Amino acid sequence: MQKTASAKWSGGIKDGKGYISTQTGVLKDAPYGFAARFEEGPGTNPEELIGAAHAGCFTMAFSLMLTQAGLTADSIETKSTVTLEKDGEGFSITACHLDMKAKIPGTDQATFEKLANMAKEGCPVSKLFANNAKITLNAQFLA
């Protein structure tokens, strides 16, 4: 399986404008640029999109772990915080922290934590980060 996304850019790094699109059309010429990435400007940025991808991937992986354990979530909410830090002359993504809250009838704290960690390790986006960035998880079980 392969999925595609594309980016267009014109202008310099600070005054330029970019647009991001996805194969599905969910994003179509979504604006991005320097101000959205390093300041508080409008538009999106790569780190925000990576965070959304990681939150979505992890949440689906957790749902899979639950299903395999015979459980179904009433709700799962995940927030991803991606850290971009200065690295020599450039920048590097150094960490991604997941905050997840879930309500799962019929389980306990120990099973919840075990399945959450299995999802964190098994999520394809986590695997992409595994050797390059520190991935942490704060999973909150809602009784």
Burial class (CB in 10 A: 0-12, 13-18, 19+), 24: exposed
User: Where are the chain's structural domains?
Assistant: 5-38, 46-141
Is the CATH code 3.30.300.20 the one for domain 46-141? Answer: yes
Closest residue by Cα to residue 73 from 25, 29, 28, 107: 107
% of the chain with per-residue pLDDT over 70? 99
**Residues 28-71: pLDDT tens digits?**
999 999 999 888 888 999 999 999 999 999 999 999 999 999 99
d(CA 117, CA 139): 9
Segment 4-10 mean pLDDT: 94
d(CA 53, CA 32): 17
- In this prediction, residue 85 carries a pLDDT of 92
Please check whether residue 84 is in contact with residue 50, taking contact to mean a CB–CB distance below 8 angstroms.
no
Segment 114-134 mean pLDDT: 88
Burial class (CB in 10 A: 0-12, 13-18, 19+), 90: exposed
**Residues 77-115: pLDDT tens digits?**
999 999 999 999 999 888 899 999 999 999 999 999 999
Q: 17-22 and 30-32 as β-strands: parallel, antiparallel, unpaired?
A: antiparallel
| 133 pLDDT tier (thresholds 50, 70, 90) | low
